[in-house]
Amino acid sequence: MRPTDAFGPAEDRPPERSNTAEMAALHLQRAFRWQAMLRLAIVIAFTADLAVFPPSEQLALSVALAAAYTLWTLRTLWAALRSHRPLANWIYPLVDLTLLTALMAVSGNFSDPNWSSPLSADIFLFIPVLASFQMRPALTAASGVLAAASYATGTGIGHLQQPYWHFILIHTLFILVVCAGCVLLSDVQQHRVRSIRQLAEHRLWLIERMMAAEEREQRKIAEILHDGALQNVLAARHFIDEAASSPRTTADALLRADEALTQASRQLRSSVHTLHPDVLVSGGLVPALEHLTQQASERGKFHAEVTSDITTAGNADQPLFWLAREILENIVKHAQAKNVTVTLQKPEPKNVRLTITDDGVGIPPDALTKSLASGHIGLASHRARIESMGGTFTLQTHTPGGTTIQAVLPSPDAPHS
């Protein structure tokens, strides 16, 4: 699967690819917006703390640092609401940690002798929480460790005269536990966004393959009509013109024109039955398989036989018919087979099994993988459909030659013959 950035510049991409490439960026933009809102709540918290527990010294510097952090918060909030491109990931936790640590040191929260302000311990919990919004587990871990170290160092130095090491260690450990939770949350979010983007890319890849398959089918139909029915219609027109220009050969020319039109009618009827098998709707799967196998044997010049112990596969009729059509088409084109057997059985009450065996040149074990990689999804798409319906698909190559393809589908409503 190709990476998103391999699609080229966003302005040069088709809308679908551009949407896929920008998915992670849009998710990060939303996370950036909520991060800015949480940072605003932190501003409100330390403003209330400074109001209730005003610093005993360096009040002006404390207010200046609080104002600086408020401006930083308003700047990030404005950028988030305007959907501006965020700064580098590491800048946000670095600025948060630097300004908040400086504010705690200057305001005296680190050295409060009464341990009365909860801000010095609790505000550092928000550092890894804020960092986790960026979905970078390593950055979140580094931010949390630095926050715990800043708290432990600042509080330890500030209370050297009246140490309370148990309190400091417990709060440091608590910050690290919160940090671990934020790292796990960040990793989950990162994995979720990556999975969504991969699913979107895979969806685009499938759409491309489906469009290519549809184009090949249309080309195939055009070739069938051009090389078969159209040529006979043109021949009939030529014979009619010949009859009109030469009265002596009118009867013979009209007879040849009638033969050409009859052949064109037969070819068109055969093509229509292949594209839309009425016999499948009216007669069931077994008559449809017999008709399909007969057509394939005539085109591929091989002997074919259809055996079945049921009359229909019920709700599995259509997928099994289209699978048989794809397999028989491949046998006609590539197998060089002399004998082909198509078997429809009900080995268990709730399962129906279709087996197609040929004695041709065989299929390499990695043929499906290579075919899918080159954009040919015919047999691979049928395999995916069978498995999505709860069935199984197996392909076995025999020695010295030949292939057996078997599909088993759940079909509790398939009656026995």
Every domain of the chain and the residues it spans:
4-206, 277-410
Report pLDDT for 357.
Answer: 94
**φ and ψ of 307, to 5 deg:** -125, 145
Identify the weakest region by mean pLDDT among 76-90, 173-187, 193-207.
193-207
Identify the weakest region by mean pLDDT among 133-147, 260-274, 335-349.
260-274
Q: What's the whole-number mean pLDDT along residues 35-58?
A: 81
Do residues 158 and 121 make contact, with C-beta atoms less than 8 angstroms apart? no
From residue 258, alpha-carbon distances to 248, 251, 264 in Å are 17, 10, 10
- Would you state the structure tokens that stand for residue 1, as one six-digit string? 């699967």
Q: Which residues of 234-257 are buried (b: 16+ CB within 10 A; e: fewer)?
A: ebbeebbebbeeeeeeeeebbebb
Q: What's the whole-number mean pLDDT along residues 378-404?
A: 83
Q: Does the structure show a pLDDT above 70 at 251?
A: yes
Whose CA is closest to 392, among 340, 354, 345?
Answer: 354
Report pLDDT for 2.
Answer: 39
Q: Does the structure show a pLDDT above 60 at 416?
A: no
Report pLDDT for 85.
Answer: 73
Report pLDDT for 55.
Answer: 75
Identify the weakest region by mean pLDDT among 12-26, 70-84, 165-179, 355-369.
12-26
Looking at the whole model, is its pTM more than 0.75?
no
From residue 2, alpha-carbon distances to 8, 17, 106, 138, 204 in Å are 12, 11, 52, 25, 11
Residue at token pair 């075919």? 371
Report pLDDT for 20.
Answer: 52
Report pLDDT for 13.
Answer: 40
pLDDT digits (tens, 9 = 90+) for 74-128: 988 888 888 777 788 888 889 989 998 888 888 877 777 666 566 666 788 888 9
Q: Is the bond preceding 400 in cis, omega lying within 30 degrees of 0?
A: yes
Domain at 277-410, CATH homologous superfamily: Histidine kinase-like ATPase, C-terminal domain (3.30.565.10)
User: CA 323 to CA 385: how far, in whole Å?
Assistant: 10
**φ and ψ of 102, to 5 deg:** -60, -40
Q: What's the whole-number mean pLDDT along residues 28-38?
A: 83
Can you state the angle between helices 165-224 and 378-388, rounded to 10 degrees? 130
Q: Does the structure show a pLDDT above 90 at 417?
A: no
Sign of CA dihedral 97, 98, 104, 110: positive
Q: Which residues of 270-307 are buried (b: 16+ CB within 10 A; e: fewer)?
A: bbebbeebebbeeebbbbbbbbbbebbbeebebebebe
User: CA 152 to CA 371: how far, in whole Å?
Assistant: 61
pLDDT digits (tens, 9 = 90+) for 125-174: 888 998 888 888 999 999 999 999 998 888 888 878 777 788 888 888 99
